[in-house]
Amino acid sequence: MKKISKQLTTLFFALLCTLSTFGGKNPQAYVIFDSQGEKVSFEQMIETVSKKNLVLFGEIHNCPICHWLEAETMKHLHALHGKKLLLGAEMFESDNQLILNEFMKGEISKSSFESEMRLWKNYSTDYAQLVEYAKEHKVPFYATNIPRRYAQIVALKGLDGLDALSDEAKRYIAPLPIPYVVDSATTAMFGTMTAQMGHSSRNPEFMSQAQSIKDATMAWTISQAFVENPDSYFLHFHGSFHSDHYGGIIPFLMQYNSRLSVATISCCRQKDLSQLEEEHIGKADFIICIPEDMVNSY
């Protein structure tokens, strides 16, 4: 009996040491903060964003927690808004809308859809669940992004490079010329990125313009969805960069349809989730904070 008691005491002491080492806290996969850095629950976030008619969900592309919460957000908003819900994503290009529609209606096979859609490499792990849910529940899904071949033209030649495109090609882009405003901060960021990647010959201003034509096209596609469905509720998925600090897509949306009420969600990574770091304060209406050592999907 004494031997067993001693073993239990040893195990209890080891457990206390382990808890002390890790602060006695359970690991957290995420914490949600509001724009001021106050912690909120997932339910509180959903309750607030559901009162708007457009939610821009900015993700970290290779973060499984982001993708899981995107799916959960979609399901909760669908439960609240039913047939009024519309979905859209940066990950699908506007000239593939017909293919997406055909798949959603069951007119083409999954293999045909996946082979023809120019899907991102992490589609099966990160975005397929969104499409499959929409297909099952008959939720319209919009391919909102500019075809990448046209964004590449802008990256190489600037926005003027789009002038040579046919009228047919321009159907898949926001109306030209877009209300582009020079963004010195974004241009500087692309200058740093191109230098680090060994592409110093690329024009940072053209790359900034390529970013803007993506934002404008996504904004235009979303705004047109509201023309077709005035009483709808739209949930859009994209990289956080496209809506952080209420920039990116949002200024273009206000040009195309200033009556929209927009809520933004952003994702970030931090070593410590106990409080939101200063750089993320005010980045969005809600900021989902995820541990730095969270696994990546690619």
Say which residues have a Cβ less than 8 Å from residue 30's Cβ, sequence separation at least 6: 65, 69, 273, 288, 289, 290, 291
What is the rounded average pLDDT of the residues 161-181? 95
- For residue 12, what pLDDT is reported? 40
Is the pLDDT reported for residue 23 higher than 60?
no
Cα separation of 107 and 129, whole Å? 19
Closest CA to 244 of 189, 281, 191, 205: 281
Q: Answer yes or no: is 4 within a domain.
A: no
Specify whether the CB–CB gap between 86 and 229 falls below 8 A: yes
Report d(CA 85, CA 107) in Å as an integer. 22
Is the pLDDT at 2 greater than 50? The verdict is: no
Tens of pLDDT, residues 81-105: 999 999 999 999 999 999 999 999 9
Tokens of 148: 């990448």
18 in a domain, yes or no?
A: no
Mean pLDDT, to the nearest integer, of 196-220?
Answer: 84
Structural domain count of the chain: 1
At position 186, the amino acid (one-letter code) is T
The verdict on residue 182 lying in a domain is yes
CA distance linking residue 95 with residue 98, whole number of Å: 7
Do 248 and 215 form a contact (C-beta atoms < 8 A)? yes
96-122 per-residue burial string, b: 16 or more CB within 10 A, e: under 16: bbebbeebbeeebeeeebeeebebeeb
Average pLDDT value over all residues in the chain: 90
In a domain, 13, yes or no: no
- pLDDT of 180 reads 84
SS3 11: helix
Q: Tens digits of per-residue pLDDT, 36-52?
A: 999 999 999 999 999 99
Whether the pLDDT of residue 16 is over 90: the answer is no
Taking the C-alpha atoms of residue 197 and residue 195, their distance in angstroms, rounded to an integer, is: 5
Given a cut of 70, whether residue 73 has pLDDT beyond it is yes
pLDDT of residue 27: 87
| pLDDT computed for residue 162 by the predictor | 98
Structural domain harbouring 74:
28-291
Does pLDDT of 197 surpass 60?
A: no
Q: Which two tokens stand for residue 83?
A: 């047939």
Query: Would the pLDDT of 28 be above 80?
Result: yes
More confident residue, 166 or 185: 166
Sequence-distant (≥ 6) Cβ neighbours of residue 64 within 8 angstroms = 125, 126, 294, 295, 296, 297
Q: What average pLDDT does range 10-19 have in this prediction?
A: 40
Asked if the structure places residue 102 within a domain, the reply is yes
CATH number at residue 211: 3.40.50.11550
Q: What is the pLDDT of residues 220-275, one digit of tens each?
A: 999 999 999 999 999 999 999 999 999 999 999 999 999 999 999 999 999 999 99
* 17 domain-assigned: no
Closest CA to 104 of 54, 142, 161: 142
What secondary structure letter does DSSP report for 292?
A: T
Pairing of strands 262-270, 85-93: unpaired
